[in-house]
């Protein structure tokens, strides 16, 4: 979800995105997180057919999902946030609905609650409540795609520059990049790992979290929630 950037404006690295050989592999050709977005619009969870978790938001049709490619998604952002979460780029569900990390099966919102950032699990449609909790969401790359391995390295590098400028303007205390592979490429840190990073970003402390995509089999809902909880503890909230 998600997820860095030119929100609402053009796209960095304009031109047809180069697909990394090997569908489903990450940008570097390995599988540290198994990132990507599921091509099947069906997803796990208690959602009735044709409705969202809240039972009042219709699911996007296949045609709507196809039409959402390359759209951008507005940031959820305000000055002086405690934590600005940075997704990789919007998926088609997010672009079609207007909600970050909207695809059924994405575990961002459960992890946010498990980690102690919100008093209850928010539905993606409730994303505008985040600034009231001192939280925000942006993305490394603004344009939506079916899978994040459709992005080019040039897009991620340009997105990191835009994110840096955004952090300078909005001055969050912490910046949490949700996806280690995107962070490694965008910030030219090929050996970066999860957790706190040694260098701040325009005065903000940097943290890298696992990709909450349902395809990231290396992290269960419990271990993903624990990773978010570690960041929560570090922020002193």
Q: Which of 218, 228, 211, 222 is nearest to 87 (CA)?
A: 211
Active-site pick, 57, 89, 106, 211: 89
Give the span between the Cα atoms of 64 and 35, in whole angstroms: 23
Is residue 211 among the annotated active site residues?
no
- For residue 81, the number of C-alpha atoms closer than 13 Å in the C-beta half-sphere is 28
Is residue 218 among the annotated active site residues?
no
Cβ-contact 146, 37 below 8 angstroms:
yes
87 strand-pairing partners = 139
Tally of CB atoms within 10 A around 146: 17
Q: Which of 88, 106, 104, 90 is nearest to 221 (CA)?
A: 106
Cβ-contact 160, 26 below 8 angstroms:
no
Active-site pick, 100, 106, 211, 232: 100
Tally of CB atoms within 10 A around 188: 12
Q: Which residues are catalytic?
A: 89, 100
């Amino acid at each position: 979800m998600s997820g860095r950037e030119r929100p609402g404006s053009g796209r960095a690295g304009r031109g047809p995105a180069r697909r990394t050989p090997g569908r489903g592999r990450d940008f570097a050709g390995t599988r540290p997180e198994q990132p990507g977005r599921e091509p099947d619009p069906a997803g796990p969870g208690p959602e009735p057919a044709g409705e969202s978790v809240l039972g009042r938001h219709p699911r996007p049709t296949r045609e709507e999902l196809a039409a959402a490619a390359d759209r951008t998604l507005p940031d959820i952002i305000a000055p002086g946030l405690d934590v600005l979460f940075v997704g990789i780029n919007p998926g088609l569900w997010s672009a079609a609905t207007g909600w970050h990390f909207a695809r059924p099966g994405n575990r961002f919102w459960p992890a946010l609650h498990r980690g102690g950032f919100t008093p209850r699990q928010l539905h993606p449609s409730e994303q505008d409540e985040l600034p009231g909790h001192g939280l925000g969401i942006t993305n490394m790359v603004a344009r939506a795609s079916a899978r994040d391995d459709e992005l080019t390295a040039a897009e991620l590098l340009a997105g990191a520059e835009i994110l840096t400028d955004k952090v300078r303007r909005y001055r969050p205390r912490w910046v949490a990049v949700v996806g280690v592979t995107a962070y490694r490429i965008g910030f030219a840190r090929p050996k970066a790992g999860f957790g706190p990073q040694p260098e701040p970003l325009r005065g903000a402390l940097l943290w890298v979290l696992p990709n909450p995509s349902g395809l990231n089999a290396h992290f269960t809902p419990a271990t993903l929630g624990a990773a978010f909880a570690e960041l929560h503890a570090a922020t002193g909230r």
